Amino acid sequence: MKVAFVTPRYGLEVMGGAESAARQLAEHLVAECRWQVEVFTTCALDHLTWDNVLPAGDSVLNGVTVHRFASRAGRVPEFYELDGRLRTAPAEASLEQARRWVELNGPVTPDLVDAVRESDAGVVAFYPYLYYPTVMGMHGTKAPRVLHPAAHDEPALYLKVFDATFAEADAICYHTGAERRLVQRLRQVAQLPQVVLGLGVSAVVEGGRPGGEVLGLGDRPYVVSVGRVDEHKGSSMLAQFFRTYKQRHPGPLALALVGPVAASIPEHEDIVLTGTVSEADKWDIVRDATVSISPSALESFSLVVLEAWERSVPVMVNATCDPTREHCERSGGGLWFGSYREFEVVLERLCADAELRTLLGAHGRAYVDRYYQWPDLIRRYAAFLGAVRERHDAGGA
């Protein structure tokens, strides 16, 4: 079968969780199912500016045919003014205001939308719900539409413009049970075919160096947070919590923030910002960390939590993030914090108790081995897409 993915950014350089998830699903369908897969995306790498960095046109990446389209100019001051007004009471925003928000949020790509409508794919998967290509592309697409919301509890999810996005889906694929419960609480979608799939952990690629050496910390113990260093991802909060923790608990422990930096983090002798690193360096850093911390409250899955468990490293997550907390509760592989005091107690306990760290790490590894291995996941996904196509051909019966 031929499958098309629609996603605002695509490529090895893209760090966004939803876009990376789309790429992994596309590549595994090609590699393990021998399906034809094409992707409709933009020339952008940055989700804030939507600057056209990559050339428009067609290319092939790891067996996937990629169609890139230039987008219009990126976000303008009007977006931030409108977003600031709507996010205080998004459910009360008018449909006209919500539509304007989607247009200003971007990336505005009418040519991409037209191309999706003309695709001969058997199924079209839209990933995630939030952007113009999904909102507009769902209209008029001939093939059955599978929506990957990648939703978390954010103001945009309450905007009326997305009522149609969910209503037009022929099926929905969720990352976690928590995401499914959130969407079903807000949208009338329970009648649609749906699956809770998740993602698999990519093969470990190690560089063979101690993590402390990669970070320039030598033999010092450290905790790590992997992912975009962004205020909206909880990075600024984590840095502040850690600075307070070090004031109250002096010692050699350091914090490594590993990923592209989009937040202003004050310099501190115990905090290392690496910027983007290679896969080998990332895995070396994670392997030797005392604890891996996911401070974000806005996740629909969080692959970095599973990557820590792949290396038997215990995790700490934000208690207000239902998907990552669900991972911890189901696996027994991590703990959570909802305030600085809880952060302090949990981190102090984990740093002091090697036996507990080993136990949590082992539970997390068993959870990943049982539920998040690519061969099983991609077979389930392929079967789901096949059933969606069959149902469509039978007239939705």
Q: What is the pLDDT along the chain (397 residues), one digit of tens a residue?
A: 999 999 999 998 876 678 889 999 999 999 999 999 999 999 999 888 899 999 999 999 999 999 999 998 777 889 999 999 999 999 999 999 999 999 999 999 999 999 999 999 999 999 999 999 999 999 889 899 999 999 999 999 999 999 999 999 999 999 999 999 999 999 989 999 999 999 998 888 888 999 999 999 999 999 999 998 999 899 999 999 999 999 999 999 999 999 989 889 999 999 999 999 999 999 999 999 999 999 999 898 999 999 999 999 999 999 999 999 999 999 999 999 999 999 999 999 999 999 999 999 999 999 999 999 999 999 999 999 999 999 999 886 4
Type of residue at 310: E
* Domain residue extents for the chain: 2-200+373-393, 211-371
Alpha helices by DSSP H, listed for the chain, are 17-33, 77-86, 95-105, 110-118, 132-137, 161-167, 177-186, 211-215, 235-248, 279-287, 303-310, 322-331, 340-352, 354-371, 374-393
Domains 2-200+373-393 and 211-371 share a fold: yes
- CA–CA distances in Å: residue 372 to residues 204, 323, 359, 389: 14, 15, 19, 25
Side chain identity, residue 167? A
Confidence at residue 16, expressed as pLDDT on a 0 to 100 scale: 64
Q: Which of 100, 107, 73 is nearest to 156 (CA)?
A: 100
Strands 64-69 and 57-61: antiparallel
Asked if 158 contacts 95 with a C-beta cutoff of 8 angstroms, the reply is: no
285 sits in the region (left: phi over 0; alpha: psi -120 to 50; else beta) called alpha
211-371: CATH topology: Rossmann fold (3.40.50)
Neighbour order of strands in the sheet with 36-42: 57-61, 64-69, 36-42, 2-6, 123-126, 145-147, 171-174, 194-196
Q: What is the CATH number of domain 2-200+373-393?
A: 3.40.50.2000
Instruction: Pull the structure tokens for residue 22.
Output: 């789309």
Among 289, 393, 319, CA closest to 304: 289
pLDDT at 252: 97
Measured distance CA(133)–CA(209) in Å, rounded: 42
HSE on the CB side for 74, CA within 13 Å? 13
